[in-house]
Amino acid sequence: MSPRRIGVMGGTFDPVHHGHLVAASEVQSRFGLDEVIFVPTGQPWQKSDRVVTRAEDRYLMTVIATASNPVFSVSRVDIDRDGHTYTVDTLRDLHLQYPDDELFFITGADALEQILSWRNAAELFELAHFIGVTRPGYHLDDHHLPSGKVSLVEITAMAISSTACRERAAAGEPVWYLVPDGVVRYIDKRSLYRGLERS
């Protein structure tokens, strides 16, 4: 059997939104991926200066958001591993799970620049091909990207961020149509993002 082409979409997904879903769908189609696995990060006690919603809620929102797409799935590898999530651990675990398949790590071009400066960058490129999706208004300086290991894809992505969704929910403003309907309902059901302060 020829190796399957598997996309890996890592993120905090606090909450998952239509920008994530459009980016994953676009890359899936352009790169002929057989599957895209969404991988919510483990529980950092903080992300920069805010408390991150508990992993189980972020995981369930991601499951709700991806359930209707036959080529999307969600992995628990990062939330079941203790401690901070490092991309190299995510890719090592998925490589063990899918030893014969090709992995394509999908990430925002902003995050990609940081990844390239990590000390285990060489191992990362052994484990996966990297696909940087550019968000609206973002220009990636690509002159130091290793050739053949990284592709950049410009996506007519929507200017949606999880930060904006959290702030809207906290202010009692609607998040309808920014996130899937089931995620709107879940945020409401669990009273997520109530009482957050605007950054």
Residue 116 interacting with ligand ATP (CB under 6 A)? no
Residue 20 interacting with ligand ATP (CB under 6 A)? yes
Residue 108 interacting with ligand ATP (CB under 6 A)? yes
Of residues 3 and 136, the one with the C-beta less far from ligand ATP = 136
Of residues 2 and 198, the one with the C-beta less far from ligand ATP = 198
DSSP 99-168: TTSEEEEEEEHHHHHHHHTSTTHHHHHHH-EEEEEEPTT-----TTSPTTTEEEEE----S--HHHHHHH
Residue 163 interacting with ligand ATP (CB under 6 A)? yes
CA atoms within 13 A on the CB side of 195: 4
Q: Mask of contacts with ligand ATP, 24-53, x by CB under 6 A?
A: ------------------------------
Using CB under 6 A, which of 64, 157, 183, 184 touches ligand ATP?
157
What Rg value do the Cα atoms of the chain yield, rounded?
16
Binding piece for ligand ATP, criterion CB under 6 A, among 62-70, 73-81, 155-163, 183-191: 155-163
What is the Cα 20 distance to its own chain's centre? 7
Residue nearest to ligand ATP (CB): 108
Residue 45, φ and ψ in degrees, nearest 5: -70, -25
Residue 23 interacting with ligand ATP (CB under 6 A)? yes
Output the CA angle 199-195-49, nearest 5 degrees: 40
In sequence order, the 6+-apart residues with CB closer than 8 A to the CB of 61 are 13, 15, 16, 179, 183, 186, 187
Of residues 99 and 137, the one with the C-beta less far from ligand ATP = 137
Binding piece for ligand ATP, criterion CB under 6 A, among 27-35, 66-74, 145-153, 160-168: 160-168
Residues that bind ligand ATP (CB under 6 A): 11-14, 19-20, 23, 107-108, 110-111, 133, 135, 155, 157-158, 160-163
